[in-house]
Structure 1
Amino acid sequence: MTLSTSLQALDLDDSIQLEQDGSILYLWLNRPESRNAMNLNMVNAIQQVFAAIRNDLSIRAVIIRGEGGTFCAGGDIKDMATLRVEAANVGSLQPYVDFNRRFGAMLEQVEAAPQTVVVILEGAVLGGGFGLACVSDVAISRDNAQFGLPETGLGVIPAQIAPFVLKRIGLTQARRLALLGMRFEGHTALSVGVVHQIAHNEIELEQALQETIQHIKRAAPEASRVTKVLLHRALNEPLSDLLDDAAQQFAQAVGGTEGQEGTMAFIQKRLPNWTDES
């Protein structure tokens, strides 16, 4: 299907590939020769996509997965060599700072997307790939996917990743995984809270994805967006003020188009109109 108008003007390289099926956008990490390791081009491309769809109400979900049967092996080591030369040329560590912070900005952008973000995790889910998994709304993994935070074993730190990992799984588990740099598979990722569902083969994986998409389509689009923002706000704002604001949003939802349609659909024992694809 043709991409949404918001995406058609983007000038993207081949580090990612986009496909769209109705209201569902598929974003493929497309560097299989390097196990989809993230370089600056890929980070920039992902940022461009999420900036473009920020206000695109026609896109309800973004499915992120990796070409070649692997999700993402982390940052591209080749970029480090390039940055080393740049740092030497300018006599400053600033090139490292800028590159690292750009990756964190991308994670912030994905996490804040109004759409529901789903990741399909196969093969390597390491370093930056682990961080990307942690900013998703729904994570579905193969049982044999390999997870880990290998940074300390390389003499570096998970600088931009750690805050998102901590938010996802809590300090107790984050400390163990980050400090030991251990590898683990899908069932452990499920038990610590990185992923929500495990698939034991490709058929189960695709079935789980399609079921998730159907659930997304059954939820009212604007209600889903407002709910996602509310959940993130609950982590940072005073409770009483948040609940006051949430009550106002609830009233607006009940009296709004979606609330009225949802109520009538329930009474009439039919699906609400937002489940139909245009």
Structure 2
Amino acid sequence: MSDYQYFNLDITGGVATVTMNLPPLNVMDNPMMAEFNTLLDGLVADDNLSAIVIAAEGKAFSAGVDVSDHTEDKVGDMIERFHGIFRRLAATDAITIAAVQGAALGGGCELACFCDVVLASDRAKFGQPEVHVGVFPPVAAAILPWRVGLGKAIELVSLGGTISATEAHRIGLVNQLFPADEFNDKVAAYIDSIRGLSRPVVRMAKQATMVGMRAETLKRLEEAEKIYLDELMQLHDAHEGIAAFMEKRSPEWSHA
């Protein structure tokens, strides 16, 4: 195990399991994301890993990034740290696996869907509700069209939809769907099956499968990030949506 403040880390048999440990909702703030990046630096550099599993304690996988870190004075640092997580995940040849036991919303959904494989409890749900607070999810905008197709991606990203784990499995966002009462055992069995394979072969197979896709993913993320910081953050509605959420009131949009 590890001495991280926000995470538990276990490395056994070539599989690293990173467990978010800020229950009940595992909301990510800047300090937690900074620690996540530091943790991932070590894992990305480890050529002996077949897989990196991202899991969570509590009732939710993650309810996303702390809304207070989206304010004008913090958003630049937030984007740098949050997107740093995905740039690191994109750099590893280990298979990345999200073990989603509960709600994966906002940045939590982005974290799950960016992983190569998503294992989900049938009680989980997935959603990108950011537009309801005046922003949009750049990582989801970059990756979801590949995972679920353009139409469903636009519906989730632009309309703020939330879907059940069953629906997420149907559209290809979830690879394996397990009954909630069997989830931990099924995930453990899935991970054990990876441990039975040759580590370098697994890594090379992923590397070959991802030819050209890493660079394209990072390019798409960079362009979505630019729209977010250079255009969205100039809108009154973006700041109004965040302020309204924090003040627990309905937003007053300028462009409704």
Q: What's the TM-score bracket when you normalise by the shorter of the two chains?
A: 0.7 to 0.9
Secondary structure, counterpart of 1:174 in structure 2: helix
What's the offset of the Cα at 1:234? 4.3
Corresponding residue number in structure 1 for 2:199 = 221
CA distance in 1, matches of 2:139, 2:77: 12
1:187 aligned partner: 166
Q: CA RMSD in A?
A: 2.1
Equivalences for 1:83-98 in 2 at 5 Å? 83-84=71-72, 87=73, 95-98=74-77
Name the structure 2 match of 1:49: 39
Q: Residue 17 of structure 1 is aligned with which of 5, 8, 16?
A: 8
Structure 1 counterpart SS, 2:144: helix
Q: Which residue of 2 aligns with 1:29?
A: 20
TM-score w.r.t. the length of structure 2 is: 0.76
Identity %: 27
3-state SS of paired residue (2:55): strand
- The residue type equivalent to 2:7 in the other structure is I
Return the alpha-carbon distance in structure 2 between the equivalents of residues 56 and 109 of structure 1. Answer: 12
State the alpha-carbon separation in 2 of the partners of residues 21 and 219 from structure 1.
14
- Partner Cα distance (1:211, 1:196) in 2: 15
CA apart distance, 1:189? 0.6
- In 1, Cα distance between equivalents of 2:58 and 2:92: 26
Cα contact 1:114–1:225 (8 A) shared by 2: yes
1:166-205 counterparts in 2 under 5 A?
Answer: 166-203=145-182, 205=183
Q: Contact conserved, 2:118 with 2:173, CA < 8 A, in 1? A: yes
Alignment of 1:256-275 (within 5 A): none
Structure 1 residue 187, shift from structure 2 partner: 0.6
Aligned residues: 215
- Per-residue deviation, 1:236: 7.2
Query: 2:41 matched to 1:63?
Result: no
Higher relative contact order (CA 8 A, sep 6+): 2
Contact 1:104/1:161 (<8 A) preserved: no
State which of 125, 138, 145 in structure 2 corresponds to 1:146.
125
Q: Which runs of 5+ in 2 are unaligned?
A: 216-256
Matched with 1:79 is 69
Question: How far 1:78 sits from its partner (Å)?
Answer: 3.1
Amino acid at match of 2:59: G
The answer to whether the 8 A contact 2:127-2:156 is kept is yes
Q: CA separation of 1:38/1:62 partners in 2, compared to 1, >3 Å: closer, same or farther? A: same
Matched, 1:112 2:91: yes
TM-score normalised by L of structure 1: 0.71
In the alignment, residue 67 of structure 2 is paired with which amino acid?
Answer: I
Report what 2:208 is aligned to. Answer: 230
Return 5+ residue gaps in structure 1 as ranges: 4-10, 88-94, 238-278
